[in-house]
């Protein structure tokens, strides 16, 4: 009888332990099922409501001023995001069809009548571009104005030189022979549309140009061979004159060209 009791207690203990183990396993399984059966979604965080505007007593519904504040906050957050992702673009600028084009074009015409070449670097031109930007396009980016302005100016000077060369070297009988023109008439013929009034610098430039053409046999009656690079050759020729420090050099050149003109007309 005692032995049976002990065996029964042992069996009871065994059954009890097994039952508790099954219960724990069941609870863990149910817990896992609950975990994986749960519907998990990425719910976006709602934009915090903007603080109530000053003087607004409406704390239950969105009034007009609160809605404006919320819209402003959304716009600010959008701009911050664009800056962080590098998507913010600087407004593009072009000289053509802008308020800067006309005054810049007029400046370049006057500049061409004094010197047909731009300097490198050209501080005068850069200063002019910055002045025009402040006056006509203050919202434009400085570097954009300088970059496009320098390109525009370089193209215009090329166009001006091409027009002037065609006029000087023209062999058409419909066009006047610049080689036979006097100094004043020569200056007006070549640079008339580029200058508002005749100046000493423009007159000297016209004389230097005629002297160059005569020396290189480019005038109509001389029938010389065309130059490979007309303006590159003239640039070197003009620089030699400018580097000459002798007094009265321009007077000497003018008197020489006047004598050449007389002989050319015969």
Report the pLDDT value the prediction gives residue 69, as an integer from 0 to 100.
79
- The mean-pLDDT minimum among 69-73, 98-102, 166-170, 227-231 falls in 69-73
Neighbours of 78 (CB within 10 A): 10
| Alpha-carbon span 144 to 94, nearest angstrom | 8
Between 235 and 85, where is the model more confident?
A: 235
Contact predicate 66/52, CB 8 Å: yes
Report the pLDDT value the prediction gives residue 115, as an integer from 0 to 100.
95
What is the arithmetic mean of pLDDT over 147-155? 97
Q: What is the DSSP letter of 58?
A: -
pLDDT tens string 46-98: 545 545 545 555 555 556 777 777 888 888 888 777 777 665 555 688 999 99
pLDDT tens string 105-146: 999 999 999 999 999 999 999 999 999 999 999 999 999 999
Here the tokens at position 31 are 């817990």
Between 2 and 174, where is the model more confident?
A: 174
Banded model confidence at residue 44, pLDDT cuts 50, 70, 90: very low
């Amino acid at each position: 009888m005692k032995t049976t009791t002990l065996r029964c207690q042992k069996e009871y203990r065994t059954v009890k332990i097994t039952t508790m183990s099954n219960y724990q396993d069941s609870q863990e399984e149910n817990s896992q099922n609950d975990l994986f059966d749960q519907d998990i979604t990425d719910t976006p965080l709602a934009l915090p409501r903007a603080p109530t505007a000053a003087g607004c007593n409406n704390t239950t519904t969105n009034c007009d001023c609160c809605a404006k504040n919320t819209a402003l906050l959304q716009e600010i957050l959008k701009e911050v995001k664009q800056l962080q992702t590098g998507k913010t673009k600087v407004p593009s600028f072009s000289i053509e069809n802008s308020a800067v084009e006309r005054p810049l074009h007029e400046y370049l015409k006057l500049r061409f009548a004094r010197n047909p070449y731009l300097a490198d670097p050209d501080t005068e031109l850069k200063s002019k571009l910055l002045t025009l930007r402040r006056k006509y396009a203050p919202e434009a980016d400085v570097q954009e104005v300088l970059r496009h302005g320098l390109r525009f100016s370089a193209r215009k000077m090329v166009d001006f030189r091409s027009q002037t060369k065609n006029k000087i070297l023209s062999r058409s009988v419909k066009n006047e022979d610049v080689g036979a023109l006097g100094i004043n008439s020569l200056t007006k013929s070549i640079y008339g549309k580029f200058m508002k009034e005749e100046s000493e610098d423009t007159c000297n430039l016209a004389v230097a140009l005629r002297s160059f053409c005569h020396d290189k046999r480019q005038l109509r009656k001389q029938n010389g061979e065309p130059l490979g690079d007309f303006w590159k050759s003239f640039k070197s020729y003009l620089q030699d004159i400018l580097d000459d420090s002798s007094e009265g050099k321009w007077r000497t050149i003018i008197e020489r060209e006047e004598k050449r003109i007389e002989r050319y007309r015969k």
